[in-house]
Amino acid sequence: MLKPMSIRWSLVIPVKTLIAAKTRMAAAAGPYRTRLAVAVACDTVAAALACPPVARVIVVTADPAAAGPLAALGADVVPDPDRGLNTALRTGAAHAARVAPDDAVGALQADLPALRPAELAAALEAAAEFDQAFVPDALDVGTTFYGVRPERPFMPGFGGESRARHLAAGAKELCLPGLDSLRRDVDTPDDLRAAMALGLGAHTAAVVRELWPPA
């Protein structure tokens, strides 16, 4: 049996087409909305790539405007079949299985602009103890991370009340302290302000400075 610390991870990050991204931010972000969506995804990918247990990040997207910047950061980009979020995740996981069959596979939401590599590493270390595990979002309704050990079935249940769905599927909920940045996904202006309080990544911070200039 693999020791948890010896497990390396392939992380799959789904990125919507920009026209569909961050629609709940439209009123607050205005013409900055698509730039904000790209920036948030860039900070999520950059933090994941800086996390020592992460061997690769696989971005699944159908939007070339997002694919280019994320590939430039070092992500592997694969096409989104455009059949829903969980299908996109399974597409990325299938790619991971082809290129690194001995690695664990995780799904990570793309809207974590305050993500800290050390917090992600702590979650991955804990997840490696279980066949499947997940981290709930800050509201304890959704999910920001779901992962499985090597050679275990990858069965993500993202969307809506996904915390309950993952629990019902037998995944271990990771209730570790100190995962605030991993749990803080951003869908609304209030979410973004909460992420700002934690400390945004450089890409998102640059857009926010234009969106809400200091007084």
Q: Which helix (H) or strand (E) holds 116?
A: none
3-state secondary structure of 10: strand
Half-sphere exposure of 183 (CA within 13 A, CB side): 19
**Residue 87 annotated as lining a ligand binding site:** no
Sequence-ordered alpha helix ranges (H) in 11-83: 26-29, 33-49, 64-73
Look at residues 14, 23, 165, 161 and name the one whose alpha carbon lies nearest to residue 92: 14
CA pair distance 97, 171, nearest whole angstrom: 20
**Residue 10 annotated as lining a ligand binding site:** no
Amino acid residing at 39: A
Q: Which two tokens stand for residue 200?
A: 């945004």
Going by their DSSP bridges, the two strands 172-173 and 54-61 should be labelled as unpaired
**Residue 204 annotated as lining a ligand binding site:** no
Annotated binding site for phosphoenolpyruvate: 143, 159, 162
User: Which residues are known binding-site members?
Assistant: 143, 159, 162
